[in-house]
Chain A
Amino acid sequence: MSDITIQNLRKTYDDVRAVKGIDLEIDDGEFLVVVGPSGCGKSTTLRMLAGLESVTDGSIAIGDRVVNEVPPKDRRIAMVFQNYALYPHMTAAENMKFGMKSASEFSRDEIERRVEDATETLDIAHLRDRKPKELSGGERQRVAIGRALVREPDVFLMDEPLSNLDAKLRVQMRAELLKLHRDLETTTVYVTHDQTEAMTLGDRVAVLEDGRLQQVAAPQELYDYPTNQFVAGFVGEPAMNFIPASVRQRGDEHVATAPGLSLTLPAGSGLDGIDDDGLTLGVRPEDVSLVSNRAGVSESFTAEVTVTEPLGELLLLHCRLGDEEIRVKVEPRSRIAAGDTVELAVDTDRLHLFDSDGDAVYHSSVPEQETESALAD
């Protein structure tokens, strides 16, 4: 069993608190992505898991063994680094063998067999005798992954392994990592700052900010039901629009108003008793659209286009609404130029409200599997 249980994990360097109490359960065979902006403590957390950093407080258990004091080599983990960390004076095969040869009781045949298997799995058998400098970035990362594979670990730890690759190769390696994980079903903890990588790779995604866990959920759930404004803004490209708004109860209905905008909110979860100023209305760029493209719109508003960005598959508009700038995804080839005034409407099933602390108080649709509990905390 190689599930991981992290309880109240903390890390303090001198007077800097890098990790401020993380509780996390990672299931056996799960691919968990830890994502967050730089300096949020995600790498520190991974390094504590690996045993490269000491734990200030809390506990880490792999399987049913608490590993706080277990040296890295006895944790049955393997780690892949962003800069590949290959020994430049050794060939690919020697790189894969070195750790096993010099620090373990494996027989020569066993090591040879494992390297054979790993090179075959990763399709790098022809690179065995090349040194790192004769390999491309993608090939180097494959060798580094191969080195992790030969350990046959219980847990893979990956620290931004794709960040040094160019965009095209990254997409390709992403798919290969997924395939590899499906074949091996080894518990994997993957750290990245790239929310696209997080969404595409993770069975679940843990969003970290300022040393604290913000939300752990499946990618789509994270996208649809962020628990706070940080998660809402971090996940999704371009980021969610945030509009300061006030909500008033009028009879049975709640109406959100902001300069230039008035919306009747559908009865979703958590709307009862909200009658407040100082809220923030969140709506994703793809959930705002031109009125001309929608049928049966009851509430619309106008905004002035300030910038247009043709992205090929869509046209991204930056619009001025009151004092706020909102981003809107519209059909490509729409005949819209900067300075035009457009009439817009929102998808009322995809609205979010955040209170002044940034916590989500309302989503206009309700998660299918769970209702109130998602918002309870």
Chain B
Amino acid sequence: MATETDTTNIDARRLVHRLPDDVLLHGGIVFSILLMASPLLLAVIMSTQSTTEVYQVTNLGLGSKGLSNYSDALVNYDFSTYMLNSFVMSVIVVVGKVTLSLFAALALVYYRFPYERAVFMFILLTLLLPVPVRIVPLFQLMADLGWTNSLLALTGPYIASATAVFLFRQQFMGISASLVEVARLDGVGPLTFLFRVLIPMSRGMIAGVCVITFIYTWNQFLWPLVVVTDKSSQVVQVGIRYLQGSAQAGLTQWGLIMAGAVLALLPPLVVLVVLHRPLLRTLTIQQK
């Protein structure tokens, strides 16, 4: 009996003692989360508001328009087309980049050829020249090839990727040499080895690279803006920019733009949520 009272007393004291610390800590956490999420939250709120409501700065409640901004964007402003274009572009880039990088890594790790290191260094060197840096000569090239306004122009410059080659190379080098030797002893060919051993063993890394690539490609703005002039071939990020141009009575329709932005956010979010585990493993920040 006496012990029981003692424990409760101690618990109570501990609670009183602990409370201020925890409140402060949790308060801080909640505040920083809100701060970081505020642009997104504001976008979601504004996407439901009418233009006049958006301009009332203190109006932070859900607006009068409900989901009509969304249907407006999708139906009247061709957002469904832009999103489909973005999706096709992203999928092609993901598939192309992963395939090409897997073969490149296979060659780099399992084949001996002259100037192997130099080739790898050259591949890494291309990291210094991303698409925006090369945009002028690249546009010239596309124009010369007659590829402008086409899917080829949208996806081509993104297919070769030093990052993906590097990640797959590291992954393959981590695979025990004796597995390769067993395959050699059995006479397993390089392609069988790639598809039956390397790819199944690298599933996590491949999924991770897919997520990164998908989001990266989906978010491309500058290159599509430059190389695609035909609206029906345009992608969603540029589509948001188009919405900005459709002012009504001199007022930018922020509600509509925010609805477009939230729509553009959804596919990468879905991919991220579905494949977040392999992505974390790829970035090796997986919590134990």
In the complex, the answer to whether B178 meets A73 with C-beta atoms within 8 Å is no
**CA A151 to CA B187, docked complex, whole Å:** 12
Closest to B180 in A: A85
**CA A87 to CA B181, docked complex, whole Å:** 12
- Which residues of B179-195 have CB atoms within 8 Å of chain A's CB atoms? 179, 181-189, 192
| Residues 52-95 of chain B, each 1 if its beta carbon lies under 8 Å from chain A, else 0 | 00000000000000000000000000000000000000000000
Chain B residues with Cβ below 8 Å from A50 are 181, 185
Which of A72, A82, A89 is within 8 Å of B185, CB to CB?
A72
Closest to B186 in A: A99
Which of A52, A85, A104 is within 8 Å of B179, CB to CB?
A85
In the complex, the answer to whether B182 meets A103 with C-beta atoms within 8 Å is no
- Which residues of A300-347 have CB atoms within 8 Å of chain B's CB atoms? none
- Given A81-B181, A83-B176, the answer on whether A102 and B186 have CB atoms closer than 8 Å is yes
In the complex, the answer to whether A99 meets B179 with C-beta atoms within 8 Å is no
**CA A82 to CA B178, docked complex, whole Å:** 9
**CA A73 to CA B188, docked complex, whole Å:** 9
In the complex, the answer to whether B185 meets A102 with C-beta atoms within 8 Å is no
- Given A81-B178, A83-B176, A83-B178, the answer on whether A99 and B183 have CB atoms closer than 8 Å is yes
Closest to B199 in A: A89
Q: A205: CB under 8 A from chain B?
A: no
- Which residues of B149-195 have CB atoms within 8 Å of chain A's CB atoms? 176, 178-179, 181-189, 192
Chain B residues with Cβ below 8 Å from A79 are 181-182, 185
In the complex, the answer to whether B185 meets A52 with C-beta atoms within 8 Å is yes
Give the size of the chain A interface in residues (CB under 8 angstroms): 25
Q: B197: CB under 8 A from chain A?
A: yes
Q: B200: CB under 8 A from chain A?
A: yes
Chain A residues with Cβ below 8 Å from B192 are 102-103
Cβ of B284 to closest chain A Cβ, rounded Å: 18
Question: Using a Cβ cutoff of 8 Å, how many contacts connect chains A and B?
Answer: 63
In the complex, the answer to whether A72 meets B176 with C-beta atoms within 8 Å is no
Closest to B201 in A: A89
Q: B196: CB under 8 A from chain A?
A: yes
- Given A79-B182, A85-B181, the answer on whether A103 and B197 have CB atoms closer than 8 Å is no
| Residues 91-117 of chain A, each 1 if its beta carbon lies under 8 Å from chain B, else 0 | 000000011101110000000000000
**CA A331 to CA B197, docked complex, whole Å:** 57
**CA A50 to CA B185, docked complex, whole Å:** 8
**CA A282 to CA B188, docked complex, whole Å:** 51
**CA A78 to CA B181, docked complex, whole Å:** 11
In the complex, the answer to whether A77 meets B176 with C-beta atoms within 8 Å is no
Q: A273: CB under 8 A from chain B?
A: no
Give the size of the chain B interface in residues (CB under 8 angstroms): 17
Closest to A94 in B: B196
Q: A71: CB under 8 A from chain B?
A: yes
Which of B188, B189, B200 is within 8 Å of A89, CB to CB?
B200
Cβ of B134 to closest chain A Cβ, rounded Å: 39
In the complex, the answer to whether B189 meets A99 with C-beta atoms within 8 Å is no
In the complex, the answer to whether B184 meets A72 with C-beta atoms within 8 Å is yes
**CA A190 to CA B61, docked complex, whole Å:** 78
Cβ of B176 to closest chain A Cβ, rounded Å: 6
In the complex, the answer to whether B189 meets A103 with C-beta atoms within 8 Å is yes
Which of B178, B187, B189, B197 is within 8 Å of A72, CB to CB?
B187
Chain B residues with Cβ below 8 Å from A81 are 178, 181-182
**CA A88 to CA B185, docked complex, whole Å:** 18
Chain B residues with Cβ below 8 Å from A98 are 186, 188, 196
Chain B residues with Cβ below 8 Å from A99 are 182-183, 185-188
- Given A102-B189, A103-B189, the answer on whether A85 and B178 have CB atoms closer than 8 Å is yes
**CA A251 to CA B45, docked complex, whole Å:** 115
Closest to B187 in A: A73
Chain B residues with Cβ below 8 Å from A52 are 181, 184-185
Cβ of B203 to closest chain A Cβ, rounded Å: 8
Which of B185, B187, B189, B197 is within 8 Å of A87, CB to CB?
B197
Chain B residues with Cβ below 8 Å from A77 are 185
Closest to A78 in B: B185
| Residues 116-139 of chain A, each 1 if its beta carbon lies under 8 Å from chain B, else 0 | 000000000000000000000000
Chain A residues with Cβ below 8 Å from B183 are 99
Closest to B179 in A: A85
**CA A62 to CA B200, docked complex, whole Å:** 36
Chain A residues with Cβ below 8 Å from B185 are 50-52, 72-73, 77-79, 99
Closest to A73 in B: B187
**CA A151 to CA B186, docked complex, whole Å:** 9
**CA A74 to CA B201, docked complex, whole Å:** 27
In the complex, the answer to whether B179 meets A87 with C-beta atoms within 8 Å is yes
Closest to A88 in B: B201
| Residues 44-84 of chain A, each 1 if its beta carbon lies under 8 Å from chain B, else 0 | 00000011100000000000000000011110011101110
Which of A51, A74, A82, A102 is within 8 Å of B196, CB to CB?
A102
Cβ of B198 to closest chain A Cβ, rounded Å: 10
**CA A117 to CA B179, docked complex, whole Å:** 24
Closest to B197 in A: A87
Q: Which of B181, B185, B189, B201 has most A Cβ within 10 Å?
A: B185
Chain A residues with Cβ below 8 Å from B176 are 83, 85
Cβ of A9 to closest chain B Cβ, rounded Å: 19
Which of A51, A85, A102 is within 8 Å of B188, CB to CB?
A102
Q: List 13 A-B contacts (CB under 8 A).
A: A51-B184, A72-B185, A73-B185, A79-B181, A81-B178, A82-B178, A83-B178, A85-B178, A98-B188, A102-B188, A103-B186, A103-B189, A103-B192
Additional A-B contact list (15), CB under 8 Å, known A85-B182, A98-B188, A102-B186: A50-B181, A51-B184, A51-B185, A52-B181, A52-B185, A74-B187, A79-B181, A79-B182, A81-B182, A85-B181, A87-B179, A99-B185, A99-B188, A100-B186, A102-B189
Please report B residues at the A interface, Cβ cutoff 8 Å. 176, 178-179, 181-189, 192, 196-197, 200-201
Please report A residues at the B interface, Cβ cutoff 8 Å. 50-52, 71-74, 77-79, 81-83, 85, 87-89, 98-100, 102-104, 147, 151
Q: Which 10 residue pairs spanning A and B have beta carbons closest together? A: A99-B186, A73-B187, A103-B187, A85-B178, A81-B178, A89-B200, A72-B185, A85-B182, A102-B192, A102-B188
